[in-house]
Structure 1
Amino acid sequence: MHWQAKARAFTVLSAIPFGEGLHYALQRYVTRRLPRPEKQIRSIHTFAQQLLRTYSEYGIRPLQASTFFEFGAGRDLIIPLAFSAHGVKRFITVDIERLSKLDLIRSNAAIISKASGSDRPGIASWDDLDRFWNIEYRAPADARATGLPANSIDCAVSVETLEHIPKADIAAILKELRRILRPDGVALMQIDYGDHFKGFDPAISAFNFLTYSDEEWCPFQSRFQYVNRLRHSEYLQLFKEAGFEILSDRPDCRSPEPEIMARLAPQFRQFSERDLFTLGSLIVARPADQGKDAERTRANG
């Protein structure tokens, strides 16, 4: 399907009553993007293991004593399930809408339990998710105002969520994360900077949307496919303005594309080619002014 047709379909779904339910039905029974194939679930589980290794590198507490927080839970909770299977003490995951489906979670839990060798009990109810997997699912919930106590979270996680949130809301979320994270806590944020319509239309560049002004791009935005188009440097600045110290950023830099540069929208001409053609990054951050104390704690065991 051509990406513009896909965008129009999302716009229609966003405008009609019961659009969310219809969107899910299309994903489930027409495009069959859900439930995810086992190969994809195992791939996400492998990525979750990478995130856990990163946390072990920068965090202070062992997994068994750590509380994690995620925003943008989605439909099937693969990241929380994978973290739980590897022994985290508690995982709180929130979403602005109640999107998760118990049957998807149940089947994913069985796959992840097998892949991790954790032999966790099956999930027959929402209570089982908390009772057996130590996962607390909150939705609808606002990541800008979580209601969680200050300094109560060891690690904040998001995977390909921030790019779907407007800039002002990202600033508010990061401010809230700064509040709820412990002084020695860690934020792990994997962000996709590419044009998400590439997944529907292989004919376009992953940087196609950089050729559109905000006014030109607006008709292609919707509640089901909103992307903020922020570049890597802008995310780093948002973290710093919210009171974070960047411990590591791992940008996926690609070669500049002359055809994109030739049609680049004026608002993006201020960015370097490296910034423009960074496809994604894992940003690792800690509340600022706490780095020395955290390193001292880590050195003292």
Structure 2
Amino acid sequence: MNHRLKTRIFKILSIFPDGLGYSLYHLLQDIGSKQTFEDKIKSTKLSYTTICRILEKNNLSLENMKIAELGSGWLPILPYQLILEGKARKVDTYDINEHYNTKEIKEVNDYYSNSETFEIESRAKYPLHKTLTYFPKTSICDGNLDDVDLVVSRFVLEHVPVESIIEMHEFFNCALMSGSYILHLISPSDHRSYTDSSLSLQDFLKYSQEDWDDIQTKFDYHNRLRLPQYLEIFKGDFEIISLEHSAINTNTEEYKKFSELAIHEDFSKFNEQELMAGSINILLKKK
């Protein structure tokens, strides 16, 4: 779908009350998605593999960990991979929205039903693995993280206002045990470019905050934070154990698109690498 058409549709949905607006949003996402269920499994497995690799590089393992997932998304695929493949002890998943639905939960449960340790418990609205607890319409700041070993997020932080990111990490600093970890996978690029190849991955950096706020909605919110801004938020209370991000390649079409952008003055203090840094993976440790 053309990003301009999508924006117009989201603007219309924003007019409706939240209940109706999100119901229509879910319907449109379901109709418009080109991803098969198998695609979703493979995509999430790539993230799971990245999580395992980063932990192993730092002599850590998912086994027997209690994990809090920040942002449940649409399906419990990552929690199931953490539990069934990583052998995590327990996963609590928090989301300020409620995107799960019974039809897709059944599809995920059926897919993993042959796993040796797969055991369903019917709690509340959704039947989920017995060691997975879903907290919809709940801020993680209202959760109990007393015995959590690892907080993990997958492509969530870029959709969170900076004030909320700061608030969450202040809460993590108070609530987590010393020596606990936080692992964020962040996608800081303009997501409109994923469906419109004419756009640069940094296209949204040409707008002022006022103009960008006029374009985006609650359904496609992106904070546009650059790498140094994330690091500034994290470094006060946490030790940065591992940091990965994509590097500039000036011999690519993507760099050519970027170099043709008139970057707004709001981002003038950042160099090219800081502006273009994508696929940010960062592991933090509670001091």
Task: Specify the SS of the correspondent of 2:133.
Answer: strand
Matched-pair contact (CA < 8 Å) for 1:71–1:94: yes
**Residue in structure 2 matched with residue 20 of structure 1 by the alignment:** 22
Q: How does 1:1-301 map to 2 (within 5 A)?
A: 1-17=1-17, 18-28=20-30, 30-33=31-34, 36-58=36-58, 63-86=62-85, 87-112=87-112, 118=116, 120-121=118-119, 126=125, 128-131=127-130, 134-143=131-140, 145-150=141-146, 152-241=147-236, 243-255=237-249, 257=255, 260-261=258-259, 262-288=261-287
Q: Mean Cα displacement is larger for which, 50-59 or 266-275?
A: 50-59
Opposite residue 197 of structure 2, the aligned amino acid is P
Task: Specify the SS of the correspondent of 2:235.
Answer: helix
Distance 1:280 1:229 in 2: 13
Shift of 1:118: 4.4
Q: Show CA shifts across 1:161-209 (max 9, x none).
A: 0000011110011112223322121111000010011122121111111
Distance 1:208 1:201 in 2: 11
Distance 1:121 1:149 in 2: 24
Matched-pair contact (CA < 8 Å) for 1:38–1:111: no
Distance 1:263 1:46 in 2: 34
* Cα separation, partners in 2 of 1:232 and 1:149, compared to 1, 3 Å: closer
Shift of 1:107: 1.4
**Residue in structure 2 matched with residue 297 of structure 1 by the alignment:** none
Matched-pair contact (CA < 8 Å) for 1:82–1:112: no
Task: Specify the SS of the correspondent of 1:94.
Answer: strand
Distance 1:207 1:92 in 2: 34
Task: Specify the SS of the correspondent of 2:179.
Answer: strand
CA RMSD between the two structures: 2.3
Shift of 1:6: 1.4
Matched-pair contact (CA < 8 Å) for 2:47–2:154: no
* Cα separation, partners in 2 of 1:45 and 1:118, compared to 1, 3 Å: farther
Question: What TM-score results when the alignment is normalised by the length of structure 1?
Answer: 0.84
**Residue in structure 2 matched with residue 296 of structure 1 by the alignment:** none
Task: Specify the SS of the correspondent of 1:249.
Answer: strand
Distance 1:215 1:149 in 2: 36
Tell me, which stretches of 5 or more residues in structure 1 are unaligned? 289-301
How many residue pairs end up in the alignment?
278
Task: Specify the SS of the correspondent of 1:230.
Answer: coil
